Structure 1
Amino acid sequence: EWFTKKYNCNKLVYYENFNNINLAIIREKQIKKFSRIKKIDLIESINKTWEDLSLKWF
């Protein structure tokens, strides 16, 4: 079962752009090691209201 289905994820609140897949994987591994508080701080550093950022794509 996929993470998004298992945990009912339905909003994109944070993302980073990379031109290099290897750098993206390194960053993903870094973020996965963050505490919950650090992840929340990271999200709120760019998206204080937790707006669904995917809505701007369509």
Structure 2
Amino acid sequence: MIAIINRLPVKEGAADRVVERFAGSGGSVQGFPGFVSMEVLRSDGGDEVLVITRWEDRESF
């Protein structure tokens, strides 16, 4: 298994909206071969969002 972590800087006050958008778009990758899961996290400071996707292997990503 491989985890891909995308770190996204966001404007102040926009983190919750970004998290909601990614959480709502999870279906867009769920059908991809090798996709395992997606997790979207917001930093305590609210200026960063992490999008973590897990895949069966690097080739699937």
Shorter-normalised TM range = 0.3 to 0.5
Question: TM-score w.r.t. structure 1 length?
Answer: 0.32
Which structure is higher in strand share?
A: 2
Question: TM-score w.r.t. structure 2 length?
Answer: 0.31
